Structure 1
Amino acid sequence: MADDSTTSEEPKLGSGHHKEEVPDRIYLISYPKIVFLYPTLFVSIVAAIFMTIAGESAYVGGNREHMAEVMALVFLGVFGFNMTVLAFDFPRTTSLTLFFLGVALFMGAWMLLRFNPDIVPALTNVLKGLRPWANSQMYWLFSGILGLIFICVGIYVRFDYWEVRGNELLHHHGFLSDLERFSAPNLKIDKEISDIFEYILLRSGRLVLHPRNEPRAIVLDNVPFISKKEKQITRMLGALQVQVRQDNN
């Protein structure tokens, strides 16, 4: 009888289903919205490098368009998209659909006027007069300023972050490492995706923590990889509850 019981348990142990390891601690950082400007920073650096190598007098398509004008249009387009993300919230797929519909209509109208300039001559002349231009120094300066702000943000968040452990929630803040402690067991977590674009850019969202015996909820905005963080916290607290029940038994 003893041999039969051991052989029946072996396939369960070697079934190949590995549980994910529960982390000892999870760090939660709430970033300012400026971090969503990283696409603009990337395009600015690329434009600065290209303009430095190719030169400001480079042409594309023969003598029709300056590369400086093309790079400026690309930069302004990405910058405009980033500013739209910062200025408005797109909480639902319907708003996302309307946004892309507006972009598609704008691009369609622009292409129509470009290849058929006689449809609306006055508007076509206005568009032809728009010839944005920037040299490499402008892109380098913009990249340097925005990059410096990113560095300052990275330093700042190292002095203001949250740490979730198995039995407590810690808030580290201040240059002198001030510490606040909250009870982690029975911690309620709410995950909110308030903006689809912000979630696409950094997988970020709002995390609302409800510690036990605390009258106010803790709201953390712009937490990167929020779905992964929420699952890790849930696994950690779930494992803690199982251990407590086993100890009680």
Structure 2
Amino acid sequence: MASDPTAKDQRQPSQQIESVKIFSYPKVIFLWPTMVFALICGTGMLIVGDLETTPEPPVTPEAVEVVQAAEEGQGEGAQVAEGQVEAEQVAEIEVPPPGARRFSSWQNIFGAVFLIVFAVNMMVMSLDFPRFTLIAVILFALTLTFLLLYLASQGVDFLSPLTALSRHLYFAANAGFFFAIAFIQAVMYAIIWATRYLDYWEIRPNEVLHHHGPLSDLDRYPTIQLKFSKEIPDILEFLLGLGAGRLVLNFSTNDRVVTLDHVLFINSKEDQLKRLMSQLQVRIPGQEV
């Protein structure tokens, strides 16, 4: 039995795309890992407490009395000798260096992790990492790691200077600082999300609309002979920015090229545009297409 053409026509509209809206976001959206780690570090600081004071070596009351007696010249010789022995025993108590304890404290760990994430985030925003460049950086990091492991197996001690340096490094901030960073970024993202409709593109089967300006100014372009291409100039931004990429619109009718950077879900937008362009139909009066 032949299929019902009416039922087929009823299924087609549900699969059609009426329009595709394309938003171009600023590059600051790739700072969201810093906001996430600011919230994590702020929560951790609420748990472990604020800044830690430098611990002082323990001193017994007997040692204090002996020192005072020696300064004032009081006491018998035997008592002084006994006090000197107790003082030497107190001096022999092993106390971890203040720098080492401060470096391994949770306050310093949270601060160091936040700074590392922030530094990596800024590097991703400052430099472009195409596919081959990213592979080269990974291979260089692996080569350097194996080289350091080989030198360590040959008896080269390069950890001692780093350990000595770490005693002088102390990065700490209270929970309010981390939460303030996260709050500022959250407000910034909210403003970006709310104002994205001030400048965006809408592609329809028969025309392309450019909405811009606070009063919703509108520019119209024909969809006929519209060409578009997708580019992923930075693979790290693609991973951090929810599949962000670059979309290039080429209007052959007026020789205009529009470049839209940092378009989220670029693969999905490309698929929608392909389906939209495939729906483009031309009807001639008196004929059925």
| Counterpart pick for 2:258 among 201, 214, 218 | 218
Cα distance between partner residues in 2 of 1:128 and 1:101 = 31
- Check if 1:44 corresponds to 2:38: yes
Give how far 1:103 is off: 4.9
- Check if 1:98 corresponds to 2:136: yes
Give how far 1:36 is off: 0.6
Cα distance between partner residues in 1 of 2:47 and 2:13 = 52
SS class of match (1:44)? helix
Give how far 1:48 is off: 1.3
TM-score, normalization: structure 2?
Answer: 0.69
TM-score, normalization: structure 1?
Answer: 0.79
SS class of match (2:195)? helix
Consecutive unaligned residues of structure 1, counting only runs of 5 or more, are 1-5
Consecutive unaligned residues of structure 2, counting only runs of 5 or more, are 53-100
Counterpart code for 1:162: W
* Same amino acid, percent of matched pairs: 34
CA contact (8 A) 1:44 1:142 kept: yes
- Check if 1:66 corresponds to 2:105: yes
Question: Which of the two has higher C-alpha Rg?
Answer: 2
CA contact (8 A) 2:51 2:174 kept: no
CA contact (8 A) 2:33 2:117 kept: yes
- Check if 1:25 corresponds to 2:65: no
- Check if 1:228 corresponds to 2:268: yes
Look up the match of 1:191. 230
Cα distance between partner residues in 2 of 1:245 and 1:203 = 41
SS class of match (1:203)? coil
Q: Number of residue pairs matched?
A: 229
Give how far 1:154 is off: 1.7
CA contact (8 A) 2:48 2:107 kept: no
Q: Quick one: structure 1 residues 179 and 134, their matched pair in 2 at CA, closer, same or farther if it must change by over 3 Å?
A: same
SS class of match (1:219)? strand
Cα distance between partner residues in 1 of 2:275 and 2:172 = 53
Give how far 1:54 is off: 3.4
Cα distance between partner residues in 2 of 1:56 and 1:67 = 10
Look up the match of 1:34. 28
Give how far 1:79 is off: 1.1
Q: Deviations for 1:108-137, whole angstroms, at most 9, x for unmatched residues?
A: 769x99xx9953533432233222112111
Q: Deviations for 1:5-49, whole angstroms, at most 9, x for unmatched residues?
A: x26x59xx99xxx99823211110011100011111111112112
CA contact (8 A) 1:57 1:66 kept: no
CA contact (8 A) 1:56 1:67 kept: no
Cα distance between partner residues in 1 of 2:279 and 2:273 = 10
Q: Quick one: structure 1 residues 237 and 95, their matched pair in 2 at CA, closer, same or farther if it must change by over 3 Å?
A: same
Q: Quick one: structure 1 residues 99 and 131, their matched pair in 2 at CA, closer, same or farther if it must change by over 3 Å?
A: farther
| Shift >6 Å, 4+ stretches | 105-108
